[in-house]
Amino acid sequence: MTIHKYPINWERDNYSIKIFCSIPNIATGILLTAGTNYFVVDPGDGILRDLNKEIGTKKILSINDLFITHGHHDHVGGVWALLTYMRVMNKKTPLTIYYPKGCIEIESIYHAFQKVYGKTLPYKINLKVIDHVNTFKSKNVTIHPFPVIHKEYLHDGITTRQVPALGYKFIFNKVKICYGGDTAYCTDLVKMAKNSDLAIIEAGHDDETPDGMHMSISEAKSIGRSAKEYFLVHVPE
Ligand SMILES: [Zn+2]
């Protein structure tokens, strides 16, 4: 165990994941590299700066996919900057954004972006709603999305509602990385994390946060230990 300082880096046989940041209410930002393909997961605020430093413009322009676990600002705050940068730098290849069904934040960002830049956009953006938890492939990576339990407060600050939220398991050359996103303890995550080569598990629960939104450190550890290695992330600082 395993609360690390960011960035966190993990690598196995040409397959790596770098977590630039994962701090509740501030930002998340994750880069997944499989061979020569780059994927970004939960591009929160600062992702453009971090990617620029890590891989540079040319590789940023080659990014195939963005994977969004849910629409909270600390997970999508960098999307606009990334899309705009790709436009300014003349990206040519398409970009696909995978997100859970009902995630209006991503759809709103996309529509606003198209309204502002649609006529001058050199690359195509594909929105891919994940409704069913079917496995699919992108480039050389197999992706298993799975539903998780995550909530947000309504305006009264007391009532909560479930938000559309997913975790993802990414498999490259049989190496499995499971990322739960933000979630309360849930059986789908328990199943998916088990025997993964790496599990990235949030432990964002604190005493002021009701259950049903995030996991406590002991819950997160109990899931993490079922994987070969694990990191706890999204821990309040
Ligand atoms: Zn969240």
Q: What count of other Cβ atoms lies within 10 Å of the Cβ of residue 232?
A: 23
Average pLDDT, the chain: 94
pLDDT digits 0-9 by tens, 82-140: 999 999 999 999 999 999 999 999 999 999 999 999 999 999 999 999 998 899 999 99
Arithmetic mean of pLDDT, 205-209? 66
Domain ranges of the chain: 8-172
The strand order across the sheet containing 141-147 reads 136-138, 141-147, 166-172, 175-179, 198-202, 230-233
- For residue 80, the SS3 value is helix
Q: What is d(CA 233, CA 237) in angstroms, rounded to the nearest whole number?
A: 11
- Does the pTM surpass 0.85? The reply is yes
pLDDT at 57 over 50: yes
Q: CB under 8 Å to 101, separation ≥6 — which residues?
A: 129, 130, 131, 164
Q: Band of the pLDDT at 209, cuts 50, 70, 90?
A: low
The confidence score (pLDDT) of residue 1 equals: 47
CA 153 to chain centre: 21
Q: What is d(CA 237, CA 207) in angstroms, rounded to the nearest whole number?
A: 14
- Please name the helix (run of DSSP H) or strand (run of DSSP E) that holds residue 20, with its range, or none: strand 15-23
CATH homologous superfamily, domain 8-172? Ribonuclease Z/Hydroxyacylglutathione hydrolase-like (3.60.15.10)
On whether the CB atoms of residues 202 and 183 are closer than 8 A, the answer is yes
The confidence score (pLDDT) of residue 236 equals: 85
The confidence score (pLDDT) of residue 158 equals: 84
Please tell me the distance between residue 182's alpha carbon and the centre of ligand 1 in angstroms.
5
Please tell me the distance between residue 72's alpha carbon and the centre of ligand 1 in angstroms.
5
pLDDT at 26 over 90: yes
Amino acid at 86: M
pLDDT digits 0-9 by tens, 60-76: 999 999 999 999 999 99
Arithmetic mean of pLDDT, 140-169? 93
Q: What is the DSSP string of 146-188?
A: EE---EEE-TTSS-EEE---EEEEEEETTEEEEE--S--S-HH
Please tell me the distance between residue 149's alpha carbon and the centre of ligand 1 in angstroms.
10
The confidence score (pLDDT) of residue 227 equals: 98
Please tell me the distance between residue 119's alpha carbon and the centre of ligand 1 in angstroms.
33
Residue ranges near ligand 1 (ion) with Cβ within 5 Å: 72, 182
Share of the chain above pLDDT 90, in %: 85
pLDDT digits 0-9 by tens, 168-193: 999 999 999 999 999 999 999 999 99
Please tell me the distance between residue 25's alpha carbon and the centre of ligand 1 in angstroms.
8
Please tell me the distance between residue 13's alpha carbon and the centre of ligand 1 in angstroms.
31
